[in-house]
Structure 1
Amino acid sequence: MPTLFFLFLLLSAIFAQQGQSLVKRGSFLTPTTNSSWPSPSGLYAFGFYKQGNGFAVGIFLAGHPQKTVAVWTADRDKPPVPADSKLNFTSDGKLVLQSAQGAETPLASFPDGATSVSMLDTGNFVLLDSDNRTKWQSFDHPTDTFLPTQNLSHGQALYSSISDANRSTGKFQVLMQEDGRLAMYPVGTQNTIEDGYWGEGIDGQKSDVVLQLENNGHLYLINGAGVIIRNMTDGYPTKDVLYRLTIDPDGILRLYSHDMNQTLTTVKWFAPSDDICKPMGLCGDNGYCVLNGQQVGCECLPQFEPVNKEDRSAGCQRNSTVESCKSSKGNFTMEPVLHTVWENKSYSVLKSPSQANCGEACSQDCDCEAALFKDGLCAKHMLPLRFVRKNQTDSTVALIKVKVGTSTPTINTTLPKEPKKKHRSDHIIIISVSLLAFVLVVLAISGIAIYRYRVSAYKKRAYTKMRKGPMVSRNDD
């Protein structure tokens, strides 16, 4: 990118109004030829990009050639489209996705229709009327990414993707709340304090607080009076660098910098920064997050196994059944798991003098699959157990109903599984026996070789003596 990179950003809106980068009615795109409409400097592009076995429609960094960095996706929860699809800016000013059979899906429109569309260097895709006024813009409909000059106001949210390869709506959201706080929650919760796993802001603010990101990576919350109420970053170098804020599939909010000269991507800031296992539900139902250094792994509760070993977020399921509980109550016991809690969705809470009493109450209740015991209270739970997490400072003991006499291994779905001690002992015995056998074979071979050597030497000496005898007798003659 040229050294005047940010000058282009500042002038991009002017260029658009002057007719540069304006796309007129009747234009179209296809995935394989003329696949996108670039911004004036070529930094961003709107159009088709590769996803899975097909193509998605959205906005991506065109100046990052090594990989597709998507920052906005249209109809993200629909499957990728095939290569024979077409994106039409119709004669009546609508932006529609058309299949090979002629079926049309509107992507963006307004009642009077757009006169032109434009991809701006800010990363904003806009539909304009005949006076070049913006009537629709992608900035008002964010997906998982927040860009400089974009505002996130109350009620708006960013939603994570399922994965880097799948841009459909994932499991986490970051929400600009009406109380002026920015907060993160699992998707599908009530967005209460108990549901949240990170937040930023100060009390007493109104709904006019917005999140803003500047071109230098300065990320902050600002109120309606123009007062910055919370700085999350102070800003960074700007030369040939682009910043974006993204809520990633793992539920972590990260500020990325892209060096457009070196196609280098760096994480400058992230939240929550104290524990990357904080995003609740990261490992799905009945599973919980563990750390191995800076790598995240998922483990299952006792007597549970991964639903899908290739997808840690799919959670865990029982590897045995307790359906025979009513006819054989004595066949079950409660296995304790220390410092473990989950979502408070108990169907019954009892006073219990001890952990043993709590376990007994659950084991005799066929509706109870697990219980939480703390401070003399026993909370009974059914499956699934959502938002399971370890907290070493929490004295809660989780009690899991398991069949008597069955093993309850802990299964890690993302990190290499440690072999059991029994397997280690078997391996040691096998290796020891193998080494002993090898030594015996070597000794045997050595013995045979020594024996043959000695026999050969003896025969050689005997032969020499025989030859010397006749030679002496002939000399005597």
Structure 2
Amino acid sequence: MQILFFPFLLLSAVFTQQVQSVVKPGSFLTPTTNSSWPSPSGLYAFGFYKQGSGYAVGIFLAGISQKTVVWTADRDKPPVPADFKLNFTRDGKLVLQSAQGVDQTRLASFPGGASSASMLDTGNFVLLNSTNQTVWQSFDYPTDTFLPTQNLSHGQVLYSSLSDTNKSTGLFRLLMQEDGWLSLYPAGTPYAPLEYGYWGAGLSGQKKNDVVLQLEDDGHLYLLNGAHAIIANMTSAGNPIKGVVYRLTIDPDGMLRLYSYDTNQNGNWTVTWSAPDNKCYPKGLCGFNGYCALNDLEVICKCLPEFESVNVEDRSSGCQRNFTAESCESDRYTMEPVLNTVWENDNYSIIISTTQDNCGEACLQDCNCEAALFKDGVCTKQRLPLRFGRRDQSDTTVTLIKVGTSTTIVDRNLPKETKKELRLDILIVSVSLLAFALVVLVISGIAVYRNRVWSYKVIANHGNTVLGEDVAPKSFTYAQLEKVTGGFKEELGRGAFGTVYKGAICVGF
């Protein structure tokens, strides 16, 4: 099918540039006063917008009640304070400066300088040279949003934002591949559709680097090849409606959505198309060791058995174990099954023609094995963390998680800080008990010593026998004892102080 309305689009773009608002070098913006440069109709604006506790520079729909951001400059840099300035310098550079004129950040890179800048009604911000040729445009560097008249050609990527209010690079991306397929991937993964892609549209057999994504003013979203033939329609064509604007955005949840907004009704954005069909298909939505499930078509993130959420306010933070295992002995663990869950199969060992019980036992006997995936007689041993998890009732995979028994789990469910405090308490108690034992030992020693000295003194007080300084047992003659006791008037016998032997007496203590 041939496209007949391209000349109209080109004429429209030329006309738009002719009536554009022109920004000359020497102009500048500040976050609180003169904060943006609007398009001729006032629908779009380029400049500062509020983000968090500071300000970011970008393009947003200024002509509607919901000021929606469609492009952000240097999106991964932190917001700037209110004393910063966006300066279109005399030499034609677009830079972000502090109040002191330092910490300059160049927002647009191109050879030479620009003679003028314009915010177009298409949502495209352009820099022009002295012959009115475009030397830089925001359409060539998309962030998370794709607008009508914009082309997404091979190698170009849209990255989701972290959240609706934080436009930093998020977890998902939309790629126009060189083979002509439009595909969705988790950020940071190789471009391997069968392993990592979670949605795609296109037609096989296209010439390399030949296909582009296009969006029309009427909301028609399609793929066009080099012969100007539509090879894939995501939405149908229609008649443009005055006052209705469209945008295609890869949202923070990894879903690709086409939105429409009727400026005549001043209402809300409406989703007219989305992909993929299942909100749990975006891989990595629930982070490591977490899996996505649907509850009344809404996403909920669940953790593996004996795991808990790292941050309940951020589902993408994933899950972590809520116990500490002290040993890898197989009798200290059990295998906990989780049914109908799909994960990335990043195995290090495969066992075929086995049963679920044998799969679990094989993992128990392997200290390196922390989980296993069992399906159709095939067991794959896994290490943690598991990622890209989702529940799929049509999939028979059983996820087996190694969890500790009650004798293995130490300080279960206690926060890390509590565990540290507990170990410190044990140390303090141990030292205190040792010190108390030493004190008791010293007091006992003193008591025994005094008791023995007192015993010697008792004997000495009955005569003139002199005791030595040591407290070892002493020997007395019969005559000495007779003298001390007054002729044995006080008979000594077997008792507390020892035994008397005729001829020689030994007193022991």
TM above 0.5: yes
Quick one: distance in 2 between partners of 1:9 and 1:238?
20
Shift of 1:338: 1.2
1:272 aligns with 276
Shift of 1:10: 7.2
2:109 maps to 1:106: no
Q: Say which of 221, 224, 231 aligns to 1:222.
A: 224
Instruction: Judge conservation of contact 2:279–2:298 (CA < 8 Å) in 1.
Output: no
SS at match of 1:164: coil
Shift of 1:365: 1.5
Q: Which has the higher contact order (CA 8 A, sep 6+)?
A: 1
Shift of 1:164: 0.1
Instruction: Judge conservation of contact 2:16–2:121 (CA < 8 Å) in 1.
Output: no
> Which ranges of 4 or more aligned residues in structure 1 deviate by more than 6 Å?
7-10
Q: Deviations over 1:132-186 (max 9, x none)?
A: 1101000000000000000001111111000001000111111111111111010
RMSD over aligned Cα, in angstroms? 1.9
Shift of 1:29: 0.2
Instruction: Judge conservation of contact 2:52–2:165 (CA < 8 Å) in 1.
Output: yes
SS at match of 1:325: coil
Q: Against the structure 1 CA distance between its residues 367 and 194, is the aligned structure 2 distance closer, same or farther, given a 3 Å change threshold?
A: same
2:24 aligns with 24
Shift of 1:352: 5.3
SS at match of 1:112: coil
Shift of 1:17: 3.7
Quick one: distance in 2 between partners of 1:109 and 1:354?
60
Quick one: distance in 1 between partners of 2:105 and 2:49?
18
Q: Deviations over 1:388-441 (max 9, x none)?
A: 12222222111001112499xxxxxxxxxxxxxxxxxxxxxxxxxxxxxxxxxx
Instruction: Judge conservation of contact 1:49–1:68 (CA < 8 Å) in 2.
Output: no
Quick one: distance in 1 between partners of 2:271 and 2:386?
33
2:374 aligns with 373
1:383 aligns with 384
2:397 aligns with 396
1:461 aligns with none
Q: Say which of 211, 226, 245 aligns to 1:242.
A: 245
Shift of 1:350: 2.1
Q: Deviations over 1:31-81 (max 9, x none)?
A: 00000000001010000001111111000001112x320000000011111
2:15 aligns with 14
1:171 aligns with 171
2:294 maps to 1:291: yes
Q: Residue type matched to 1:214 in 2? A: E
Instruction: Judge conservation of contact 1:13–1:120 (CA < 8 Å) in 2.
Output: no
Instruction: Judge conservation of contact 1:36–1:47 (CA < 8 Å) in 2.
Output: yes
Quick one: distance in 2 between partners of 1:263 and 1:94?
37
Quick one: distance in 2 between partners of 1:247 and 1:353?
42
Q: Say which of 287, 299, 304 aligns to 1:301.
A: 304
Unaligned runs of at least 5 residues, structure 2: 1-7, 410-509
Instruction: Judge conservation of contact 2:198–2:283 (CA < 8 Å) in 1.
Output: yes
SS at match of 1:108: coil
Quick one: distance in 1 between partners of 2:295 and 2:340?
18
Quick one: distance in 1 between partners of 2:16 and 2:398?
63
Return the index of the structure with the highest Cα Rg.
Answer: 2
Q: Residue type matched to 1:391 in 2? A: D
Q: Say which of 318, 323, 344 aligns to 1:320.
A: 323
Quick one: distance in 1 between partners of 2:143 and 2:112?
26
1:188 aligns with 188
2:213 maps to 1:211: yes
- State the identity as a percent: 69
Shift of 1:325: 2.5
Q: Residue type matched to 2:126 in 1? A: V
Instruction: Judge conservation of contact 2:126–2:138 (CA < 8 Å) in 1.
Output: yes
Quick one: distance in 1 between partners of 2:105 and 2:119?
20
Quick one: distance in 1 between partners of 2:253 and 2:387?
16
Shift of 1:363: 1.3
1:356 aligns with 357
Shift of 1:111: 1.7
Shift of 1:8: 13
Instruction: Judge conservation of contact 2:283–2:389 (CA < 8 Å) in 1.
Output: yes
Q: TM-score, normalised by structure 2?
A: 0.75
Q: Against the structure 1 CA distance between its residues 13 and 325, is the aligned structure 2 distance closer, same or farther, given a 3 Å change threshold?
A: farther
2:422 aligns with none
Q: Deviations over 1:226-258 (max 9, x none)?
A: 101111111355221000000000010000001
Q: Against the structure 1 CA distance between its residues 22 and 35, is the aligned structure 2 distance closer, same or farther, given a 3 Å change threshold?
A: same
Quick one: distance in 2 between partners of 1:321 and 1:10?
68
1:46 aligns with 46
Unaligned runs of at least 5 residues, structure 1: 1-6, 408-477
SS at match of 2:107: strand
1:95 aligns with 94
1:118-137, aligned counterparts within 5 Å?
A: 118-137=118-137
